[in-house]
């Protein structure tokens, strides 16, 4: 669910939605979601002062709270 959520939001924000890649790495107590976008779109995903990235992380932590796992979003360049 979290992977689809990040992919949907990222595709909505960027100019090149075909280049959005989301990888999910499952661990025992945490899940890492790696987001990769086109070089020109990285600023759109991070936002001014990291506000969009912070909002994405907040949404992820809220959606993952019922599973008890910690979800970490990493934006790769």
Which pLDDT does position 68 carry in this prediction?
A: 81
Whole-number pLDDT of residue 19:
95
**C-alpha span between 57 and 72 (Å, rounded):** 7
pLDDT at 39: 93
Range of the domain at 55: 2-76
Low-confidence ranges of the chain (pLDDT < 50): none
pLDDT value of residue 29: 87
User: Does residue 19 contact residue 10 with C-beta atoms inside 8 Å?
Assistant: no
Phi, psi of 50 (to 5 degrees): 75, 20
Q: How many domains does the chain have?
A: 1
What is the predicted pLDDT for the residue at 69?
83
CATH number of the domain within which 57 lies? 3.30.300.20
């Amino acid at each position: 669910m979290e992977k689809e959520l990040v992919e949907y939001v990222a595709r909505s924000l960027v100019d090149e939605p075909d280049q959005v890649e989301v990888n999910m790495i499952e661990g025992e107590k945490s899940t890492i979601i790696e987001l990769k976008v086109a070089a020109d779109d990285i600023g759109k995903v991070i936002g001014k002062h990291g506000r969009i990235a912070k909002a994405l992380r907040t949404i992820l932590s809220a959606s993952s709270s019922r599973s008890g796992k910690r979800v970490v979003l990493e934006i790769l360049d």
